[in-house]
C-alpha cells in the first residue's frame, strides 16, 4: 500500500464515451484526479454530470474510453477480468446508496461473503467480521436478516462489509441517499470516524452538507472537473 502522502489513485486525461443509436454521450472529458492515502474526497455535482461513472471507473466496475488510471502505482487498464475482480475484492470497499445486502443471508453472512473469495481461514474471517461489526455498532445484530433492520442499520452493515477486508480505499456512492436526515447524519459520523482511523475515502454526494465532511471537494459539471477546493476543517 502507498505510504501516507503518496498518491493512491491517479487519473490522467480520463474520458468515457457511451455510444447508443449513433449518438455519442461524453460522460467524462479529460478528468485529472489524484487521491492520497488517508485523504477524504467528496465528488459532487448535478444529476447526470458523471459522478457515478467516475466512481465506477475508480472501482474497476467500468473502463475509461481513454486516459490512464494508476491504483497504488499500478496501471489497471491492461488487467483482465479475473485480475480486476481480484483487485476489487482486495483493495476496494464499496458502499452503495441501495445498501446491496443479500436478503436471505444474515448480517454476519453478508459481511463475511466477500472474504470467502480470498481463501481466508474461517477463524480469520470470523475475527474480521466481528471487528467490522464492532466498528459500526452492529455486533448485536449478527443473526438478523436485512429485512429485520432499519435503513440506517442496513447501511451500517454495508459499511462493515466494505471495511472488513481492510481495503486501500472506500468508494461510497450516495451512501445517505436512501436515508432520512437523522440516519444520514449517523452514517456520515461513521464515515468520519473511519477516516480519523486512517481510511481513504472517495464519496459521491449531491448534498453540500455531506461534501463538507471531506478534506477536499471536487465539483463535476458535464463530465469535467470545474472546481476543486479544500473544505473547512469543521469535522476535525
Residue 233: all three cell numbers together = 476543517
Return the pLDDT at 20.
85
Structural domains of the chain, with CATH? 40-49+79-230 (3.40.50.300)
- 174-232 pLDDT, tens digit per residue, is 999 999 989 999 999 999 999 998 999 999 998 888 999 899 999 999 999 998 888 75
pTM listed for this prediction? 0.89
For residues 200 and 209, the answer to whether their CB atoms sit within 8 Å is no
Is the Cα torsion angle 66, 70, 76, 82 positive or negative in sign? negative
Cα separation of the two ends of the chain: 25
CA 52 to chain centre: 11
Reported confidence tier of residue 235, pLDDT bands at 50, 70, 90: very low
The CA–CA distances, whole Å, from 108 to 18, 36, 55, 111, 128 equal: 39, 32, 27, 5, 11
Element spanning 172, H or E: strand 169-173
Residue 215 is predicted with a pLDDT of 93
Per-residue pLDDT, averaged over 26-52, amounts to 92
- pLDDT > 90 fraction of the chain, expressed in percent and rounded: 75
Beta-bridge mates of residue 133 = none
Contact 172/104 with Cβ under 8 angstroms? no
Residue 232: predicted pLDDT: 58
Q: Give the tens place of pLDDT for each residue, 172-187.
A: 999 999 999 899 999 9
pLDDT grade, residue 234 (50/70/90)? Answer: very low
Q: Which helix (H) or strand (E) holds 16?
A: strand 7-20
pLDDT above 70 for 233: no
The C-alpha atoms of residue 173 and residue 226 are separated, in whole angstroms, by 20
Q: pLDDT tens digit string along 41-99? A: 999 988 889 999 999 999 999 999 999 999 998 899 888 999 999 999 999 999 999 99
**pLDDT grade, residue 108 (50/70/90)?**
very high
User: Could you report the per-residue pLDDT of 135-160, keeping only the tens digit for each?
Assistant: 999 999 999 999 999 999 999 999 99
Mean pLDDT of 30-44: 94
The predicted pLDDT at position 119 comes to 84
pLDDT band at 236 (very low <50, low <70, confident <90, very high): very low
Bridge partners for 28 per DSSP: 16
- Cα–Cα distance between 223 and 28 in angstroms, integer? 4
Amino acid at each position: 500500500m502507498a505510504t501516507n502522502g503518496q498518491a493512491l489513485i491517479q487519473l490522467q486525461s480520463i474520458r468515457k464515451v457511451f455510444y447508443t443509436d449513433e449518438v455519442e454521450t461524453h460522460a467524462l472529458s479529460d478528468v485529472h484526479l489524484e487521491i492520497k492515502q488517508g485523504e477524504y474526497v467528496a465528488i459532487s455535482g448535478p444529476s447526470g454530470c458523471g459522478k457515478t461513472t467516475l466512481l465506477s471507473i475508480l472501482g474497476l466496475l467500468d473502463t475509461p474510453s481513454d486516459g490512464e488510471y494508476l491504483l497504488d502505482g499500478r496501471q489497471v487498464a491492461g488487467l483482465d477480468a479475473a485480475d480486476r475482480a481480484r483487485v476489487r475484492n482486495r483493495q476496494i470497499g464499496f458502499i452503495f446508496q441501495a445498501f446491496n445486502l443479500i436478503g436471505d443471508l444474515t448480517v454476519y453472512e453478508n459481511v463475511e461473503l466477500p472474504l470467502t473469495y480470498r481463501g481466508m481461514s474461517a477463524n480469520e474471517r470470523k475475527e474480521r467480521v466481528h471487528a467490522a461489526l464492532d466498528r459500526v455498532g452492529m455486533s448485536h445484530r449478527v443473526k438478523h436478516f436485512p429485512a429485520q433492520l432499519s435503513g440506517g442499520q442496513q447501511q451500517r452493515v454495508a459499511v462493515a462489509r466494505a471495511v472488513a477486508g481492510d481495503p486501500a480505499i472506500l468508494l461510497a456512492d450516495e451512501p445517505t441517499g436512501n436515508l432520512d436526515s437523522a440516519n444520514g447524519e449517523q452514517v456520515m459520523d461513521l464515515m468520519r470516524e473511519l477516516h480519523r482511523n486512517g481510511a481513504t475515502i472517495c464519496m459521491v454526494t449531491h448534498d453540500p452538507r455531506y461534501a463538507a465532511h471531506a478534506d477536499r471537494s471536487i465539483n463535476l459539471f458535464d463530465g469535467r472537473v470545474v472546481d476543486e477546493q479544500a473544505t473547512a476543517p469543521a469535522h476535525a
